[in-house]
């Protein structure tokens, strides 16, 4: 049995009510729920929340909210792994025979069903524990610079100061959309970034963290431009 678990607590600080705030005409969480349902990958799409309003919105868009998340994993210090492990434990206590879980973030309006399907294909491969969304950095990280307390500049990797950009190894970062995994990997608390993980590579134009009001504004502009491309 395969389930999607969407963590969505109610206590967002930097963007109040972020998970259900209207984004391009719909509550933010709706995009993740709809992509999960459209993918046809899951037997259940479950939202883990401590907030009754979020629960009602999630149900309106087709997700299940069979439990309310406990207070001890609903604060700023609760990790994604804490939330997934709790949901897995609850499902197993109900007798659900879980094999794979996909943690799908509630603030991922750019997630697409085809990416979830690709992740499912990958995580079934031998010796693969996780498959998660990632995208290339737009600039070589080997050329990154840092500032001292007095404002002077130095390189993180000074040995690459004269290396041509095209000669540097491409690097990737977590796109913050979803994490497919074997149930056993989540239960053991195995980290996502290891040799038994693979990525679903996304184009940079469909990746944007949404942690601040500025992020939100940029994401809406980006979403608008992508929407225009479809029409």
- What are the pLDDT digits (tens) for 1-55? 999 999 999 988 889 999 999 999 999 999 999 999 999 999 999 999 999 999 9
Q: Which residues of the chain have pLDDT under 70?
A: none
Tokens of 182: 């074997």
Q: Which residue bears the tokens 């995009």?
A: 31
Sequence-distant (6+) residues with CB within 8 A of 30 are 57, 61
The pLDDT of residue 46 is 98
pLDDT for the residue numbered 74: 92
Of the chain, the end-to-end C-alpha distance in Å amounts to 37
Calpha distance 163→80 (Å, rounded)? 38
- How far is CA 61 from each of CA 34, 76, 160, 165, 193, rounded to the nearest angstrom? 7, 26, 50, 45, 32
What is the per-residue pLDDT for 230?
Answer: 81
Residue 69 has what pLDDT? 96
Task: State how far the Cα of 8 lies from the Cα of 19, in Å rounded to an integer.
Answer: 6
CA–CA dist 29, 8 (Å, integer): 8
Q: Please, what are the domains in the chain?
A: 2-136+171-230 (3.90.550.10)
Reduced to 3 states (helix: H, G, I; strand: E, B; else coil), residue 196 is coil
Strands (E), the chain: 2-7, 22-23, 26-27, 44-48, 100-104, 130-136, 145-147, 153-155, 172-182, 197-201
Helix (H/G/I), strand (E/B), else coil: 132: strand
What is the structure's pLDDT at 11? 83
Q: How far apart are CA 41 and CA 3, in angstroms?
A: 8
pTM of the model as a whole: 0.94
Residue 56: helix, strand or coil by DSSP? Answer: helix
Torsion of CA 170, 176, 181, 184, to 10 degrees: 110
Bridge partners, 68 (sequence order)? 49
């Amino acid at each position: 049995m395969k389930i999607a678990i969407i963590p969505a607590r109610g206590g967002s600080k930097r963007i109040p009510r972020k998970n259900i705030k209207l984004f391009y005409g719909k509550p933010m969480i709706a995009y993740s729920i709809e992509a999960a349902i459209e993918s046809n990958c899951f037997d259940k799409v479950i939202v883990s929340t401590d907030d009754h309003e979020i629960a009602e919105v999630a149900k309106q868009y087709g997700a299940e909210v069979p439990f309310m998340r406990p207070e001890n994993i609903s604060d700023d210090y609760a990790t994604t792994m804490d939330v997934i492990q709790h949901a897995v434990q609850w499902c197993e206590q109900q007798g659900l025979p879980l094999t794979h879980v996909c943690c799908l973030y509630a603030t991922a309006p750019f997630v697409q069903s085809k990416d979830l399907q690709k992740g499912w294909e990958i995580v079934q491969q031998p010796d693969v524990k996780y498959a998660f969304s990632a995208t290339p950095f737009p600039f070589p990280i080997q050329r990154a610079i840092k500032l001292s307390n007095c404002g002077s500049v130095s390189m993180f990797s000074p040995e690459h100061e004269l290396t041509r950009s095209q000669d540097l190894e491409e690097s990737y970062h977590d796109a913050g959309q979803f994490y497919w995994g074997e149930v056993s990997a989540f239960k053991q608390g195995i980290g996502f970034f290891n040799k038994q993980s693979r990525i679903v590579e996304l184009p940079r134009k469909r990746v944007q963290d949404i942690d601040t009001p500025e992020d939100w504004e940029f994401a809406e502009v980006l979403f608008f431009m992508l929407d225009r491309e479809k029409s």
